[in-house]
Amino acid sequence: MKVKFMGAARTVTGSCYILEAAGRRFAVDCGMHQGNNEIEKRNWDVDIYDPDKIEFMLLTHAHIDHSGLLPRLVQKGFHGKVYMTPPTADLLKIMLRDSAHIQEMEAQWKGRKRLRNGDAETTPLYTQKDAMAAFPLFSTVSYGEAFSPSPGITVTFRDAGHILGAAMLELVFLEDGVKSRVVFSGDIGRPAQLLIRDPTVIEAADFLFMESTYGNRNHKDETESLNELAEAIAYSYQKGEKVIIPAFAVERTQEMIYSLHLLAKEGRLPADMPVFVDSPLAIQATEIFRKYRDYMDAETKAFLANGEDPLNFSQLRFTPSTEESMGINNTKGPAVVISASGMANAGRIKHHLRHNLWRQGASIVFVGFQAQGTTGRKIVDGAKKVRIFNEDVAVGAKIFTINGFSAHAGQGQLIDWLGRFKTEKMCLFLIHGEYIAQQELAGLIRDRFGIDAAIPDYLEEMTLVPGCELARVAYPEKAAPRIDWGFLIADLETRLAQLRERRGAMEGKAWVEQTELRDRLLEVNRSLSGIISEIH
């Protein structure tokens, strides 16, 4: 059995793993690469996937970093079945069309700029027509229902507890009379999160591919997170400004609505403070959540049984149209605005940040993971200015980072989930995480369970043999993307600004940070030296 890591290898986006087993070639997920410009260039190079030779696909869930390249692969020749749960299918039909719309709009904007410069017109990564061409390939399977997409391969979806319809994959391969059990965790949910059931416990696997997004940190508890959200609301309400919440349209927006519903019940959301859900995609997704009530957790079902809708309250306003969206910032006074995208690098949230990020008294509340290179990550890391619509916008608002709302398990929860496995000599691969987080998690796993976890790199190929005797073929020159100088310079400028601010009263601490900055510059210099050596 072979596996090639096409994405989410030492990073958190672009999830895709191509397997060759039982005489078949198929893929688990086909996510879009997100982050800085160099990382996102990988989305255009799908010939390396050999799309026409992928016989079928298994999707863990609807998030774009796990599904967003499907239309591109269909455009390039993939025509096999795509297996997923029923809620995932419904969510994908709105999410892929929305993603295609963004691709078309960005290509149109870039195309006008290129034409003014006398260059050729820009084409989108894929179109809405490409997205819709993928829909007839969908085949839905419920949790716990074993199916065989091909002779010698049996698959079962288990509830991942991550977002509506998210699945872990249990695969059993029969090759030369020998059975192998392979588990892909997908994105493992945070136990006790709102709306969604807890992740399924799995106890047996010969090969386990486990996500590691938060491999180096734990989450705050739900009560503390609600208190922080209430603090942000109180801060901006008193100053007559807005609370801006970048949130993923699927799951995170719905969880934020639920949280605000709870705060309203407790009297901690001012009765005259409107809450706007300003994302057409999030509005449609919320309706799909209402459709699949049987997938909700016991607490949500109890609310519904008592006639209380946790996805609705008196101050909630949905703004699907462009005119309604623009009206939010044309109206003075405090308000809560939930808008996509969750990493603040696309969609309507960019407009809300341009109008509010610079305002003293406004609050920006990050409630999800921010990938390297995104606008959200730059703000969280302390940038004093960020580039939005070709304009430098100062960061004057108060920044809140509340990771207790994450749909991903934290470090301790990942360890607890892994600890339920009973298979001796299980082979473990850490995927879907940044390398620093993966290294820390791998160390904990080694200390706790005596398992040496492998950390695959981008485009690495492995031949899997029972007993963890791995034959590995790596391509380090391909794994490391070209340096994104814009991102690197902005990162260094941010660190320099932080040093200047803290110099004086905190000379000792500033000296330590200057040493860290010097080390980073040395690292850049080493990278440059390597590039020059390759050129020569």
Q: 36 with 162, same domain? A: yes
CB 242 within 8 A of CB 356: yes
| Domain shared by 263 and 382, yes or no | yes
Burial of 356 by CB count in 10 Å (0-12 exposed, 13-18 middle, 19+ buried)?
buried
Interatomic CA distance for residues 86 and 138, integer angstroms = 10
H and E: helices and strands count for the chain: 17, 22
Residue 488 is predicted with a pLDDT of 52
d(C-alpha 121, C-alpha 129), whole Å: 19
User: Is 274 domain-assigned?
Assistant: yes
Which residues, other chains included, contact 110 with Cβ-Cβ below 8 Å and sequence gap of 6+? 122
CATH number of 350's domain: 3.40.50.10890
Domain of 364, in residue numbers? 222-405
SS3 label, residue 69? coil
Please name which of 477, 428, 478, 456 lies closest in space to residue 9, comparing C-alpha atoms. 456
Encoded amino acid at 394, one letter: A
Q: Quick one: three-class SS letters along 494-529?
A: HHHHHHHHHCCCCHHHHHHHHHHHHHHHHHHHHHHH
Alpha carbon distances (Å) from 423 to 51, 170, 181, 362? 34, 14, 10, 51
Q: What is the CATH number of the domain that holds 424?
A: 3.60.15.10
Say whether both 139 and 241 belong to one domain: no
Burial bucket for residue 381 (CB in 10 Å: 0-12, 13-18, 19+): middle
Q: Which of 373, 405, 437 is the last residue of a domain?
A: 405
529 preceded by a cis bond (ω within 30 of 0)? no
The whole-number pLDDT of residue 404 equals 84
Question: Can you tell me the distance from the alpha carbon of 151 to that of 473, in angstroms, rounded to the nearest whole number?
Answer: 28
Segment holding 453, helix H or strand E: none
150 burial type by CB count under 10 A (0-12 exposed, 13-18 middle, 19+ buried) = middle
Classify residue 128: in a domain, yes or no: yes
- 344 Cα distance to chain centroid: 12
Same domain, 309 and 388: yes
> Is 419 in the same domain as 497?
no
Which parts of 160-249 are beta strand (E)? 167-175, 178-184, 207-211, 242-246
Q: How far apart are CA 147 and CA 509, in angstroms?
A: 58
Residue 19 lies inside a defined structural domain of this protein: yes
Same domain, residue pair 343 and 424 = no
**How many structural domains compose the chain?**
3
Query: What residues pair up with 138 in beta bridges, in sequence order?
Result: 82
317 shares a domain with 395: yes
Which of 405, 437, 469 is the last residue before a domain boundary? 405
Does residue 344 belong to any structural domain of this protein? yes
Residues 422 and 319 in one domain: no
**In terms of domains, do 42 and 88 share one?**
yes
Q: Considering Cα of 416, then 3, then 92, then 158, what sign does the dihedral take?
A: negative
Q: What is the pLDDT of residue 159?
A: 98
- The total of other beta-carbon atoms located within 10 Å of residue 514's CB is 14
Q: What is the pTM of this model?
A: 0.84
Residue pair 11/65 in contact (Cβ under 8 Å)? The answer is no
Shared domain for 375 and 446, answered yes or no, is no
Nearest-angstrom CA–CA distance, 89 and 122: 30
pLDDT in tens, the chain (536 residues): 899 999 999 999 999 999 999 999 999 999 999 887 888 999 999 999 999 999 999 999 999 999 999 999 999 999 999 999 999 999 999 999 999 998 998 888 777 766 666 666 789 999 999 999 999 999 999 999 999 999 999 999 999 999 999 999 999 999 888 899 999 999 999 998 899 999 999 999 999 999 999 999 999 888 899 999 999 999 999 999 999 999 989 999 999 999 999 999 999 999 999 999 999 999 999 999 999 999 999 999 999 999 999 999 999 999 999 999 999 999 999 999 999 989 998 889 999 999 999 999 999 999 988 887 889 999 999 999 999 998 999 999 999 999 888 889 999 999 999 999 999 889 999 999 999 999 999 999 999 999 999 999 999 999 988 777 677 887 766 666 654 545 555 555 555 655 655 555 455 455 455 555 655 555 555 555 444 444 43
197 and 238 belong to one structural domain: no
Please check whether residue 485 lies inside any domain of the structure: no
How many Cα atoms sit within 13 Å of 426 on the Cβ side?
A: 27
Question: Does residue 536 fall inside a structural domain?
Answer: no
Which pLDDT score, from 0 to 100, does residue 453 have? 96
Domain boundary pick from 365, 386, 405: 405
Classify residue 28: in a domain, yes or no.
yes
Please tell me whether residues 374 and 254 are part of one structural domain: yes
